[in-house]
Structures are given as structure tokens and as C-alpha cells.
Chain A
Amino acid sequence: MSGILDIVYAEYNYWIYVTLMMIGFYAMIAKKNLIKKVIGANIFQTAIFLFYVSLADVTGGTAPILVGGHGAEHAADVIYTNPVPHCLILTAIVVSVSTTAVALALIIRIYQEYGSIEEDVILAARRELKPEFSEHARQKGVAEVGRQ
């Protein structure tokens, strides 16, 4: 039993990111509310950011700000953490924010059209094939007439 705990503890950062990622993934798939889906997507993406950031950490390392000065003579003095993943994640956070913005904008439009942000209500409205809701319904209704 303690063996498993040791394995978990040794790389607990990875376990945390995988757990968070699965929580986000579950929310994206299973939640009926569109806002909750977007929150799930955010958790999912943030988990990946945490993975990157924890990847960059070096035991005993300090922030990658130059200590002392340029040149080879200072190189061995300080251990820095890796700055590259942090920079990558700054970019990825911007991407994630824009995705969220687009998603929320779409949800506003969906609410205006269907009067709900619950997936089953929207699906039911589409399934009833009310022509005022759906171009697809209009075309399909015409198909039935065309076939007869």
C-alpha cells in the first residue's frame, strides 16, 4: 500500500495534472449546461498549463533572472528554472482566453435563438424541427414534400 503512495508522492505534480484534466474532460462531455462545458474546457486547458509549468521547475532553482552578470565566469553560480515552458504557457493562456471569449459569445447567440443554454432543451427544440429555429428543418420539411 505504501508502495503506491510512494509512487504517487514521487511525481505528485503529474498526478494532480492528470486528475484535473480528467475532471475537465468529464465536464466537457457529461455536463448538459453549455457554460459548464466551457468551464470544463478551461479546467482541461489549465491542467495542461500546470503540467508545463511543473515541468519547468528545477530542484533548488531560482527565477530565471540573471544574477551577477553576463559571461562564463558566473555560469556555474546559480541554478535557474527553465523559462521556456513559462513563455510557451503565457502564449497558450492567451489562446485559452480567446477560446473562452469565442465560446461565451456563441453561448449568448445560442441563448438568443433558443432561449436556453441547456443542451437537452436545445436538442429538443431542434428535434421538433421548428422551421423558425432551423434551416436544416426547413430543408428537411421540403424534402418530405418533395418525396411524396
Chain B
Amino acid sequence: MTGFDLIAPHLPVLTVVIPLIAGFLTPIIGWIDRRLPWYWVMLAMFVVLLIAGNNLVTVINSGTIHYKLGGWDPPFGIEYVIDLLNGFVCLIIAFIAFMVSIYSKESVKKEVPGKTTPFYSVFLLLITGLMGMTITGDIFNFYVFLEISSLTAYALIAMGDRGDGVVASFNYLIMGTVAASFILLGIGYLYAVTGTLNMADMQNLLPGVYDSKVVLAALAFFMAGFSIKVGLFPLHAWLPDAYTHAPSTASALIAGLMTKVGVYAMIRFMFCVFTPAFVIDVNMTEILTWAAALAIIMGSVFAIAQSDIKRMLAYSSISQIGYILLGFGLVNVVGITGGLLHIMNHAFMKCALFLVAGAIFYKTDIRNIYQFKGLGKKMPVTTTVFLIAALSMIGVPGTVGFTSKWYLALGSIEANQWIFVAVILVSSLLNIVYFWRIFDNIWFGHPHEIENIKRDEAPLTMLIPMVILGILCVYFGFFSGDLIEHIFEPLAKTLLGLGGVP
């Protein structure tokens, strides 16, 4: 008990420190026995999940956690701040990472043979970067974690398909470097006008210099940088290749988390470093909504043209990121609630879909959707999860996708922007088009083509995380009311500065 008391005040920072240390210990563990790193990663992720859950409960019960690194007081030292928003994002990261780590065993063994130990080491460092980006309250510290997560993502992607993987990774590296440099420049501009690096302190100091062109330039650099990082439509060029050619496990992790954390960072900078009033005043939100609407439509259109399932899911990701940003661009409570909800939903759905794509590739070596004939008979559980997640992506009532799209549509109506309601509707129809081709191939083959197919399901370590994510897609479709009422709506009000959570 005393041991726990000793650790308890340091729980916030442990979400970052545990994956960091575990990541560096992985090579030693792998050197002892090559099968051990999987158990090691699962253990580390499970502990992080518990801590992240505990942090969120603490935040809900007793308000925002402020953790001073090294005991230095905030404006000078680095401060970790966990409020409802990043406590919640941390929990999603920990949960998805835990699910993916369970799944990874067989998939990694097959797709990155002989390199499992480095893979897991980099996996843990990626989680470190993402956790750090989410949890930190210091903008330069944020930049460092951003680069940690980017560098590890380049490494993970390069471990994928021979040839394609490295080229995709190199393209991502060049674009990611531009993005990170823009963000660094933005940080420099803000430091020049305020002389502080602490987010909360900066939000207090910035209103005095809002008429300065430097602040405007900083905002523009941040938005451009984050738009590349999240793959917002015209700046998405790195994303499809990177998602397609990464190993399945890494695709699921990167698709499920990287862009979500990028979106979180964008929100954090828009609403918690700058103020909503300023961002609206310079028309940034309006630009964002239109870019998002374009992303929603174009992502879906491109997805229809793909024959590789992972590439199709990547384009679908571009359109889903559009949904999230549309919600935030509307800057009203309902829209932001929808956006926040969609961060969670999209993490579940897209992770489940990529895990399914990985499981199919593991069993059959096929990624081409025109070859999926008879899969419904061969892998019934896997394809059922695919069906649920895809229906959720389309937004069928009873799944999570419906709830968030409903809120986004309501938000658009409230903002008197009927055109975005039309955009959401059209995109849902396009979603049906591209997912239907897969349903058609999986379940509706000619009888003579599928009569000889035996049931040959993916291994249990792959099935469990997929099924859990599939169940969550349906569960939150029916029971997200409490979550919306107690977490998302107060959160949306806080972000807009309308009060709500203390």
C-alpha cells in the first residue's frame, strides 16, 4: 500500500515514462528470448491502460491534474496537464495500443520476420510520442514528442512491403519534416511575442498581442503544419501510401491513433493556446470547415477507385478526418460534441477495419478486394467484424458512426450551414458504394466458387481484439448517451469557453 502511495502522485507522467523505458528495455528482453517482446509489450500497454484509466477517473472526480516535472513551477518548468480532453484521448491511445499489441503476435511474426524485437521497441516509442504529445502542457515539449512519434512512424512504415514501404516512408518523412518545421516556426513566433512556452500561460498573454501580424502568421503555420500531419485533403499525399505499405499492425496503430492525436493537437492549439473568439475572428474555422467538406467528398470518391483494401481504407480515413474537423470548424456545442465523439468512434472503427484487413492478409496473402470471394464462409468471425465496422463507417443507426454523424448534421443545421448536411449525406452514400463492393465479394460469390471452401479462421490472438472493437462499435451505438451527457457536451462547452467542467 505504501508503495502505491509513493507512486500515486507520479501517475500522470508514468503514462509517458513506462512505454519509454519499456521501449529501450525491449532489445534486452528480445535478446533473452525472441518470443518474450510480445508479452513485454502487452504487459507495458496493460499497465499504461490502467494508469490512463485511473488518470481519467481522477480528472472526473477531482478536476484537472497539474504535474510539475522536476518540481519546477509552471511558467518556467515543463508542466503536464491532464484535463478531461486529453485524459480521454490518452485512454483511447492506451486502449487501442493494448488491443493492437494483443493482435500483433502472429501478424508481426509473418510480416516482419526476424525483426520482431526492433518492431516492438519502435512500437513502444511511438506510444511514448503519442502519449507525450497528448499529455504535455508545454508547447516546445509538444514539438519534441511530435518528432518522436513521427520518427518512429517512419521506421514502422519502412518495415512494410519491400520497396514500396521505404519509398512511402521517405515521402512521409519529407512531408512530415516540413510539417514539424512549420510547427517549430509557429512556436518560435509565439515565443517571440509572449516569452513563454506554457500553454495556459500563453493563452493568458496572447490576447494582448492579437492585433500583431506575428500571431496571425503563427496560427497559419500551426494550421498548415497540423493539416499535413492529419492528412487534410489537399495535403494528404503521404497518407495513402504510408497506410497501404506499412505492416498491418503498424497500419492499424498509425491509422487509429496518429491522425487522431494530430487532430487533438490542432484542437488544443486552436482552443487552448489561441482563443476560440480569435480563431473565428480570423476566419480560420470557416476555412477549416470548407477544407473538411472537400476532404469528406474527395476522400470517399478516391476510395471508390481503389482495389487494394488498405489503400481504400486509407482514403476513407482522409474523409473521416474531414468529419472530425468539420465538427470543430462549426464551433458550436453540438458540432464539437460530434467531432469529439467521432475521434473515439473513428479510432475504434478504423482500427477494427485495418485489423481485419491484416487478418485476411495473414490467412490468404490477399489485399485485393476482387479476390475476396468466399471469405464470408472461410473467415466468418473476421468478416462479421468487418461488416459491423463498415456499417458503422457508413453510419447505420445502432452503430457508433450514426451517433456522431447525427451530431455533426445537427451541428451543421444549428450553424445554418445546410450544405454540410448535404455533404454528410452524399459522403454516406459514397461510403455505401465503396464498402458494398467488398460485401458483394465476401458474401455473394457464385455457389460453385465457394462450395469447396473450408472454414479457416484467424488465430485467437487476432480474433479477440477485433471482436472487442466490433462489440464496442455497437455498444457505444446504443449506449453513448451517458458519455455524451457527462463527458463530451461539458467538454465542448469548456473548449468554447462557455463554462461546464471546472
Which B residues lie within 8 Å of A51 (CB)? 185, 188
- In the complex, are the beta carbons of A106 and B158 less than 8 A apart? yes
Knowing A37-B174, A102-B154, A143-B368, the reply to whether A135 touches B162 (Cβ < 8 A) is yes
Q: Give the distance in Å from the alpha carbon of A6 to the alpha carbon of B77 in the complex.
A: 40
Q: Which residue of A lies closest to B173 (CB)?
A: A103
- In the complex, are the beta carbons of A139 and B162 less than 8 A apart? no
Q: Which residue of B lies closest to A101 (CB)?
A: B151
**B-side interface mostly:** helix
Q: Closest CB of chain A to B239's CB: distance in Å?
A: 15
Q: Give the distance in Å from the alpha carbon of A122 to the alpha carbon of B58 in the complex.
A: 53
Q: Closest CB of chain A to B213's CB: distance in Å?
A: 13
Q: What is the size, in residues, of chain B's interface with A at 8 Å between Cβ atoms?
A: 38
B308 interfacial by beta-carbon distance below 8 Å: yes
Q: Give the distance in Å from the alpha carbon of A98 to the alpha carbon of B174 in the complex.
A: 13
Stretch at the interface among A61-69, A70-78, A84-92: A84-92
A5 interfacial by beta-carbon distance below 8 Å: no
Taking a contact as CB atoms closer than 8 A, the residue among B144, B188, B370, B371 that contacts A48 in the complex is: B188
A contact residues, range? 35 or more
Q: Give the distance in Å from the alpha carbon of A134 to the alpha carbon of B181 in the complex.
A: 31
- In the complex, are the beta carbons of A106 and B166 less than 8 A apart? yes
Residues 86-127 of chain A, each 1 if its beta carbon lies under 8 Å from chain B, else 0: 001001100100110011001101100110000000100010
- In the complex, are the beta carbons of A99 and B188 less than 8 A apart? no
The residues in B between 173 and 198 inclusive whose CB is less than 8 angstroms from any CB of A are 173-174, 177-178, 180-181, 184-185, 188, 191-192, 197
The residues in B between 355 and 369 inclusive whose CB is less than 8 angstroms from any CB of A are 366-368
B140 interfacial by beta-carbon distance below 8 Å: yes
Taking a contact as CB atoms closer than 8 A, the residue among A44, A114, A140 that contacts B181 in the complex is: A44
Which A residues lie within 8 Å of B184 (CB)? 45, 48, 92
Residues 148-161 of chain B, each 1 if its beta carbon lies under 8 Å from chain A, else 0: 00010011001001
- In the complex, are the beta carbons of B166 and A147 less than 8 A apart? no
Q: Which residue of B lies closest to A142 (CB)?
A: B368
- In the complex, are the beta carbons of A102 and B173 less than 8 A apart? yes
B342 interfacial by beta-carbon distance below 8 Å: no
- In the complex, are the beta carbons of B151 and A135 less than 8 A apart? no
A52 interfacial by beta-carbon distance below 8 Å: yes
Knowing A110-B167, A139-B308, A146-B368, the reply to whether A45 touches B162 (Cβ < 8 A) is no
Q: Closest CB of chain A to B336's CB: distance in Å?
A: 32
Knowing A102-B151, A142-B371, the reply to whether A88 touches B170 (Cβ < 8 A) is no
Which A residues lie within 8 Å of B192 (CB)? 55
Residues 124-143 of chain B, each 1 if its beta carbon lies under 8 Å from chain A, else 0: 00000000000000001001
Residues 41-59 of chain A, each 1 if its beta carbon lies under 8 Å from chain B, else 0: 1001100100110010000
Knowing A91-B140, A106-B158, A113-B163, the reply to whether A147 touches B173 (Cβ < 8 A) is no
- In the complex, are the beta carbons of A95 and B144 less than 8 A apart? yes
Q: Closest CB of chain B to A92's CB: distance in Å?
A: 6
Q: Closest CB of chain B to A28's CB: distance in Å?
A: 6
- In the complex, are the beta carbons of B368 and A135 less than 8 A apart? no
Q: Which residue of B lies closest to A52 (CB)?
A: B188
Q: Which residue of B lies closest to A114 (CB)?
A: B163
Which A residues lie within 8 Å of B197 (CB)? 84
Q: Which residue of B lies closest to A41 (CB)?
A: B177
Q: Closest CB of chain A to B364's CB: distance in Å?
A: 12
Knowing A51-B185, A143-B307, A143-B370, the reply to whether A136 touches B167 (Cβ < 8 A) is no
B350 interfacial by beta-carbon distance below 8 Å: no
Taking a contact as CB atoms closer than 8 A, the residue among B147, B170, B178 that contacts A103 in the complex is: B170
B105 interfacial by beta-carbon distance below 8 Å: no
Q: Closest CB of chain A to B343's CB: distance in Å?
A: 27
A34 interfacial by beta-carbon distance below 8 Å: yes
A15 interfacial by beta-carbon distance below 8 Å: no
B320 interfacial by beta-carbon distance below 8 Å: no
Knowing A98-B151, A114-B163, the reply to whether A136 touches B245 (Cβ < 8 A) is yes
Beyond A51-B185, A143-B370: 12 further Cβ-contacts under 8 Å?
A25-B178, A44-B181, A48-B184, A55-B191, A88-B140, A95-B143, A102-B151, A106-B170, A113-B166, A126-B163, A139-B307, A140-B307
Can you report 23 A-B residue pairs in the complex whose CB atoms are below 8 A from each other?
A41-B174, A44-B178, A45-B181, A48-B181, A51-B188, A52-B188, A55-B188, A95-B147, A95-B180, A99-B173, A102-B155, A113-B166, A133-B163, A134-B161, A135-B162, A136-B245, A136-B311, A139-B367, A139-B368, A140-B308, A142-B366, A146-B368, A146-B370
- B-side residues, CB < 8 A to A, are 140, 143-144, 147, 151, 154-155, 158, 161-164, 166-167, 169-170, 173-174, 177-178, 180-181, 184-185, 188, 191-192, 197, 244-245, 307-308, 311, 366-368, 370-371
Closest 9 CB pairs of A and B: A146-B370, A135-B161, A143-B307, A113-B163, A109-B166, A95-B147, A106-B170, A139-B368, A133-B163
- A-side residues, CB < 8 A to B, are 25, 28, 34, 37, 41, 44-45, 48, 51-52, 55, 84-85, 88, 91-92, 95, 98-99, 102-103, 106-107, 109-110, 113-114, 122, 126, 133-136, 139-140, 142-143, 146-147
